[in-house]
Amino acid sequence: MTVQPIRLFGDPVLRTPAEPVVDFDAELRRLVADLTDTMREQNGAGLAAPQLGVGLRVFTFEVDDVLGHLVNPVLDFPDEEEQDGPEGCLSIPGLYFDTKRRMNVIAKGFNSYGDPMQIVGTGLMARCVQHETDHLDGVLFVDRLDGDARKEAMKAIRQAEWYDQGAPPVVKLSPHTPGNPFGLGR
């Protein structure tokens, strides 16, 4: 079982640009397996490495029964066509907002063995590839919303039951008391 916990909105790792993969080794393939298993267990269309706390440019996808992964993706847009529709994120569970994306994308990158590969995506696949590549740049889909829609989304996130309101301040009773003396979790 290689299902891993998914980092949620508010975790700094989701805001940190990921590093390009240099070593196409067994460790990378283990990461791809973890991403795949976790994505499928959560019925997600895609999952990016930072969502498992790993700062590498890798994501997995499963759209229209096409399962795969892409390492070090570079996106190219063959035309100007756009799409608008509901989008969600496993790091922002239960919330969906209409998000504008490009309709068509060509994503170039590598598989976990370092072989060049390319995804020509349209519609949902194109949306997924853009969403996951954003994760690798520390960008979340709510950042793509404009004005009022973004404010509404942020409000909904802050009200979500999973949202971490911030750990209580650590009270040190004496310099010899390590950490939080009351053992209060988050």
Question: Which residues in this chain contact Zn ion in the complex, by CB under 5 A?
Answer: 89
Rounded-to-integer distance, Cα 41 and Cα 63, Å: 14
Establish whether 131 is an annotated binding residue.
Answer: yes
Establish whether 176 is an annotated binding residue.
Answer: no
DSSP secondary structure, the chain, as one string = ----PPP-TT-GGGGSPPBPP---SHHHHHHHHHHHHHHHHTT-SEEEGGGGT--BSEEEEEETTEEEEEEEEEEE-SS--EEEEEEEETTEEEEEEEEEEESEEEEEEE-TTS-EEEEEEETHHHHHHHHHHHHHTT--GGGGS-HHHHHHHHHHHHHSTT----PPPP--SSTTS-S-TT----
Q: Which is nearer to Zn ion, 43 or 174 (CB)?
A: 43
Nearest distance from C-beta of residue 23 to Zn ion, angstroms: 25
Q: Which is nearer to Zn ion, 71 or 90 (CB)?
A: 90
Q: Which residue matches tokens 């795949």?
A: 36
- Residue 132 bears catalytic tag: yes
| Active-site option among 41, 132, 152, 161 | 132
Give the residue closest to Zn ion by C-beta.
89
Nearest distance from C-beta of residue 185 to Zn ion, angstroms: 26
Nearest distance from C-beta of residue 11 to Zn ion, angstroms: 12
Nearest distance from C-beta of residue 77 to Zn ion, angstroms: 20
Q: Which is nearer to Zn ion, 82 or 143 (CB)?
A: 143
Q: Which is nearer to Zn ion, 47 or 71 (CB)?
A: 47
Catalytic residues: 132
Binding-site residues from annotation for Fe cation? 89, 131, 135
